Every structure is written in C-alpha cells, then in structure tokens.
Amino acid sequence: MTWREWRAAWRWWDVVGFVLLTAGPLIYFIMLFGMLIPFGSLATAKPSDRSIDWVMGLVRLMLWMTGGVAGLGFFWMLVVAPWLGSGDARFTESRTPLVQSKTHRATAWGPCLLVAGGSLVVLIEAIVTWFLTSVWEPSELLSIWLAPIIGILTLHGWRYNRVLQRRVRASAHRAQVCFKCAYSLAEIPNCERCPECGTKTPPQSRSDGGTT
C-alpha cells in the first residue's frame, strides 16, 4: 500500500483513536521522567514519611491518568470508531465494504475479548498462588462479577455486530458500489451482478442504478 492509499484509508476517527492509545504510554514516560528528580533527592537525603507519601501519591496519579487515557482510547477504537466508520460511504480498493464489515465484526467483540483475556490472567495468577501456598483466594472480580460482565459484553458484541453490518451495507447502498470490491454501480442500471467480481447485487441497488 502506497502512502497515498494509506492516507485515503484513514479517517479522522481512526487518527483520534490512535492518538488516544499512544497518549497513555506517552503520559506515563513523561511523568516517569519528571519523577527522576524527586527520586534522586530522596536517594541522597534521608526520606521523611511526608516525602514518601508525596511520591507515592504522584505514582498513583500517574497510573490513574495512564489507565484513564488508555481506557478511553480502547473505548473509542472498539465502540465509537466502528460506529462512525460503518456509516461512512467513502470506499477505496483497500477499504471495501466487505473489508470494513470484517473489521467491524472483529472490533465488536473487542471488549468481551479484553475482559476475558484479563480474567484469564487473574485466574492463572490465582492457580499459581494456590499451588504455592495451598490457599485459594481468587479476586472479587473473578469470583463474583466475571460471569455477568462477560455475559453482558457477549450480548453487546453480538448485537453491536449486527448493527454495524447493517450500517455498512446501507453505506454501500448509498454509495452505489459493490459490497465485495467497491466497484461503482451508479452508471449500470438494473445490474444483477458486479461486472468486476461477479457478486450478486441486491434488488435495491439494481433499481437505483443510473439515478445519480
């Protein structure tokens, strides 16, 4: 893919999501670099309880800011960006309606997969602790809220997936392009199959041909 094709494939909501996802680690490293000075002063002098509390409070603030920005970035990329992208009727050879449909199908299940993956890590940690200490102490998230959260996110993924597919097909219909290859059907009245790839066109697209 050339630079021009890559730029044409990106939309403003993709750029916003990329910025949000990269802003979290950037904030973390900037604040970590800024903490080198107070850490250095504590290393050369005898730290007091007040100075230690101040540094720990700064660490907590850094972690909360990083996590908040990263969470906002994931929400934008997995919920907001697919909604905006599915309603966009500008298609290219590299960003056909079919490609967008497959991409949104994956992102719709993103929240569920993230929670399931994080829960798997917590479960592995609990199993390792059980083997080492013979004490089973799963976290409250794993023991109480795991099943309802994954169930709700699974329902969200299934429903949101269907909504996004309908929006992509409606966008392709408005643009009068083939759903598979994005070939323009606007100048082909009553086209039953795409002349480029042979995909069968829906009846509504056939009746709209040549009406632009």
Q: What is the DSSP string of 169-212?
A: HHHHHHHTB-TTT--B-TTSTT-SB-TTT-PBPPHHHHHHTT--
Please check whether residue 195 is in contact with residue 183, taking contact to mean a CB–CB distance below 8 angstroms. Answer: yes
Domain residues for the domain of 51 are 10-86
Whether 42 and 78 map to the same domain: the answer is yes
Instruction: Kindly calculate the radius of gyration of the chain based on its CA atoms and give it in whole angstroms.
Output: 25
- pTM greater than the 0.85 cutoff: no
Q: Predicted confidence band at 46 (pLDDT cuts at 50, 70, 90)?
A: low
Please check whether residue 46 is in contact with residue 92, taking contact to mean a CB–CB distance below 8 angstroms. Answer: no
Q: Which of 86, 119, 138 delimits the end of a domain?
A: 86
Does 147 reside within a domain? yes
Tokens of 18: 């990329």
Whether 44 and 113 map to the same domain: the answer is no
Whether 69 and 102 map to the same domain: the answer is no
What pLDDT, in 10s, does the model give residues 109-160?
A: 878 777 777 777 777 777 777 777 777 666 655 656 667 777 777 887 888 8
Whether 158 and 185 map to the same domain: the answer is no
